[in-house]
Amino acid sequence: MRVVPRMERGECFNAGVIVYCRAHSYVAARTHLDEAKLLALDPGADVAGVRAALRGVEGVCSGGTEAGQAAGDDPGRRFRWLIAPRSTVVQPGPVHTGLTADPAAEVERLLDLLVR
């Protein structure tokens, strides 16, 4: 996931990752908001709103009541909903493919590698 504080400038930074593994019926998101970076790009940014949007992504991935309307959807459908293009401050980034035997560990590894 990426944050685009000011659409007209096109600047963005990574704020989360989503891992989907069909073989394990697994989808999870981990997020980390660098508040200083957000405010450097847009001093008037709605930090609480961006945090809420990122928490919402994690909630959709986890399913249950946190997923809202997507609660009854299977992991693949929730993943596809999250990666759909949108013109908001919190957006999906490009989708990359890969292989892993441990998707839960992979989501943490990617968060450390790409976001933190």
The yes-or-no verdict on residue 65 having pLDDT over 90 is no
pLDDT digits (tens, 9 = 90+) for 78-116: 999 999 988 889 999 999 999 999 999 999 999 999 999
pLDDT digits (tens, 9 = 90+) for 28-51: 999 999 999 999 999 999 999 999
Are 18 and 83 contacting, i.e. CB atoms less than 8 angstroms apart? yes
User: Is residue 13 within a helix (H) or strand (E), and if so which, with residue range?
Assistant: strand 13-14
User: Sign of the C-alpha dihedral, residues 91, 55, 59, 68?
Assistant: negative
Nearest in space to 106 (alpha carbons), one of 23, 51, 30: 30
Which pLDDT belongs to residue 86?
85
Which pLDDT belongs to residue 100?
92
